[in-house]
Amino acid sequence: MRLLSFICLLIWLLNFSGTNEFSYKIAKVKYKGGGDWYANKTALPNLAKFCNANIKTTISQEDANVEVGSPEIFNYPWVYLTGHGNVVFTDAEAQNLKKYLMAGGFLHIDDNYGLKPFIVPQMKKVFPELDFIELPFTHPIYHQTYNFSKGLPKIHQHDGKPAQGFGLVYQGRLVCFFTYECDLGNGWEDQSIYNDPEEKRLEALKMGANIVKYAFNR
């Protein structure tokens, strides 16, 4: 497994070394089932721009997409899955995602309201032996560059439920972070889309930067 992690890291370094000013790319996960995997179109470019300016990353601001079953997923150290509706992984796709996560990749699942009943069973295909656990507010993911002592910020209200952060922990390592009832990615979008107050957008971007930094530095 250490050899697989080394190979994955080597691929990332080879792909993004040289004259390219960006060291990393991040991508949105494309999945089957009919759910709107393509939601939050401006979110990742805005998050990359914020991270580059504030936590000194060198992430491409391209709005990249990658299919969950594609070998291309190994080109991205951090991938983002969102949407509202149905999610379906084939067995081959689940195995590909599992290999990616075991090799050092990181998956951020962002509930865009209504995703939980669809994504949780699909992640059981990926790691049948693991369950999502709620991360305590003391977890390092909430205390990277920015301190979130009460956990995830609540960007949009839906059912009056609190924002929660769940994780899948594989061999002591957080490989998947699930932001629930939070709408974090909506807060990364261009201000004109939701007209969120700037302070809310900043909260969302800061928490997003924490997630990226945690994933890159594990």
pLDDT tens string 134-158: 999 999 999 999 999 999 999 987 7
Architecture label for domain 2-217 = 3-Layer(aba) Sandwich (3.40)
Q: Are 47 and 53 a contacting pair, CB within 8 Å?
A: no
Q: pLDDT (tens digit, 9 = 90+) per residue, 62-118?
A: 989 999 999 999 999 999 999 988 999 999 999 999 999 999 999 999 998 889 999
Q: pLDDT (tens digit, 9 = 90+) per residue, 180-193?
A: 999 999 999 999 99
> Tokens 């936590």 — which residue?
55
**Measured between alpha carbons, how far is 163 from 181 in angstroms, rounded to an integer?**
5
Q: What is the pLDDT of residue 50?
A: 98
The percent of residues above 90 in pLDDT, for the chain, comes to 80
Tell if the pTM clears 0.85, that is, is over it. Answer: yes
**Rounded alpha-carbon distances, angstroms, from residue 126 to 61, 171, 178, 185:** 29, 15, 14, 23
Q: Are 108 and 78 a contacting pair, CB within 8 Å?
A: yes
Tokens of 137: 């507010």
- Domain locations in the chain as residue ranges: 2-217
Asked whether residue 14 carries a pLDDT value surpassing 50, the answer given is no
